[in-house]
């Protein structure tokens, strides 16, 4: 190689090194190229939950402030004051896209804090038609995966997930049975104010006394017609259903669920969906039928 070519090669190497150094300065080390997806955020929160984790129910003023802020964000989509209220309550607020590419405003609590009050994702630019609820993340494992699969099928929905393990704080974090939880307050406010049907997802383990894949309940009494119709659509999809209002379903009927009781008083559809481990491992198969509750 001639001296000129060596000189040119050295010049090129130095130039490339300079460009790399400049890019390092301009791009902070470890900075993500894209914000985490909704699925990533839900998964990270769920993985951190433990029966020994911190939790306390909100004080009435805290609860009312967050419920009001969420209502304002549903109405406007970009209320800066409302976002500030959520941040003051310990939530991280931002936007995220889900697997279907739909965009959501996401408020996410901190599982390391006693204000571990959950995660809520509000559709941006779309009027909600369904409320998807995951009250027992980590405890009823994979229920969040089913919820997210339903959301990918029906993007015009609100996704609401509890922020603590159901057994935390001597089971005071069991939001399906505690009326003082923020989860309950948000579920009641959103469903009654916007007349939204609720799809609440649960899971059960192996049982010798139950052949069904899903136990479907509709609250403390007979379910609303859309819930009855949901049972038919699930069976049309090849899923065995035990109808809690007509069959004996081994105490998985969900009649004492406080969100279901509130929905019955308001005359709104509430679907209490208990799923086998097998069904929860195949969320893409059950999600299309569950999503039809939005069409009530």
Give per-residue pLDDT as tens, 220-263: 988 999 999 999 999 999 999 999 999 888 888 899 999 999 99
pLDDT surpassing 60 at residue 185:
yes
**pLDDT at position 85:** 97
The closest alpha carbon to 171, from 205, 139, 142, belongs to: 139
Q: How far is residue 190's CA from residue 206's CA, in Å, rounded to a whole number? A: 34
CB 183 within 8 A of CB 118: yes
Q: What is the DSSP string of 58-80?
A: PPHHHHHHHHHHHHHHHHHS--H
HSE-CB at 100 with a 13 A cutoff on CA atoms is 15
pLDDT surpassing 50 at residue 7:
no
Q: Which of 45-59, 148-162, 201-215 has the lowest mean pLDDT?
A: 201-215
3 state DSSP class of 96: strand
Q: How far is residue 144's CA from residue 128's CA, in Å, rounded to a whole number? A: 19
The model's pTM is 0.88
HSE-CB at 289 with a 13 A cutoff on CA atoms is 24
Token pair listed for 49: 């939950």
Q: How far from chain centre, in Å, is Cα 263?
A: 19
In this structure, what are the phi and psi dihedrals at residue 190, rounded to the nearest 5 degrees? Answer: -65, -45
**pLDDT at position 296:** 75
């Amino acid at each position: 190689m001639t001296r000129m070519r060596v000189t040119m090669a050295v010049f090129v190497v130095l130039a490339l090194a300079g460009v790399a150094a400049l890019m390092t300065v301009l791009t902070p080390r470890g900075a993500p190229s894209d914000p985490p997806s909704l699925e990533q955020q839900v998964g990270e929160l769920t993985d951190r939950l433990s029966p020994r984790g911190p939790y306390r129910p909100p004080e009435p003023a805290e609860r009312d402030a967050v419920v009001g802020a969420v209502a304002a964000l549903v109405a406007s989509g970009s209320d800066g004051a409302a976002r500030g209220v959520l941040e003051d309550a310990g939530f991280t607020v931002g936007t995220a896209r889900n697997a279907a590419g739909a965009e959501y405003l996401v408020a996410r609590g901190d599982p390391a804090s006693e204000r571990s009050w959950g995660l809520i994702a509000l559709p941006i630019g779309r009027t909600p038609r369904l409320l998807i609820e995951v009250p027992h993340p980590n405890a009823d494992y994979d229920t969040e995966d089913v919820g997210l699969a339903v959301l990918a099928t029906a993007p015009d929905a609100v996704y609401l997930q509890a922020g603590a393990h159901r057994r935390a704080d001597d089971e005071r974090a069991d939001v399906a049975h505690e009326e003082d939880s923020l989860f309950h307050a948000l579920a009641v406010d959103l469903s009654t104010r916007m007349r939204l049907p609720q799809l609440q997802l649960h899971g059960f383990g192996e049982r010798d006394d139950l052949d069904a894949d899903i136990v479907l309940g509709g609250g403390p009494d007979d379910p609303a017609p859309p819930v009855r119709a949901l049972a038919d659509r699930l069976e049309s999809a090849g899923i065995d259903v035990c109808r809690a209002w007509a069959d004996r379903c081994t105490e998985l009927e969900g009649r004492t669920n406080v969100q279901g009781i509130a929905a019955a008083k308001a005359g709104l559809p509430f679907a209490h969906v208990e799923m086998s481990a097998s069904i929860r491992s195949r969320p893409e198969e059950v999600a299309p039928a569950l999503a039809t509750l939005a069409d009530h």
